[in-house]
Amino acid sequence: MILHDTKFPAVTFNNQPAFPLKAYRDSDWAACLITYRPVSGYFILLGDKPISWKSKKQVTISLSSVEAEYRSTRQVCAKLAWLTRFFHELKVSNLTPVPLKCDNQATIHIARNLIFHGQKLQNELITLSHVSSQDQYVDVFTKSLNESQNAQAISNQGLQPYPLA
């Protein structure tokens, strides 16, 4: 449905003094009924416009939804690290910490507890916070949505119809 509704999407950037990065990520545990592998997705915005997004079946089976969500968090953190280095080379500053929105409280708790992992990305690169499921931009990449949910997701993502005239 999203491909049909966004045949001619456009992303337009306005002349704004600041373009903060913001990211959303989600995972659907055992989404594939054949392989039982989770599907993860992320959506990264510069200002209020999308610049990077991805939806992919994870390569391994997760034993819990929290494990699938945490793996998805690690993947988007790697992408955010690359993007912040890229923008730093372009002399764009003040992008960190990047707000990363997640709808799983257990994942947020694990990621905030540095005992569970040796990286300090949480303190230097991102601020992980909760987002309600209805405000989650990435559900369109990981779950089946009805028509109104799909329309809301497209609207949230900053996509606009491209003027053909």
- pLDDT digits 0-9 by tens, 135-145: 777 766 666 66
What percentage of the chain carries pLDDT values higher than 70?
67
* Extents of the domains making up the chain: 2-9+18-157
Q: Which residues does the chain have with pLDDT short of 70? A: 1-18, 31-32, 114-123, 139-145, 150, 152-165
How big is the CA angle at 33 (ends 71 and 42), to the nearest 5 degrees? 35
Report the C-alpha gap between 128 and 24 in whole angstroms.
Answer: 10
Q: Give the pLDDT confidence score for residue 56 in this predicted structure.
A: 82
Q: Give the pLDDT confidence score for residue 164 in this predicted structure.
A: 46
When the candidates are 3.40.109.10, 3.30.420.40, 3.30.420.10, 3.90.1150.10, the CATH number that belongs to 2-9+18-157 is 3.30.420.10
Judge whether 109 and 115 are in contact, CB under 8 Å: no
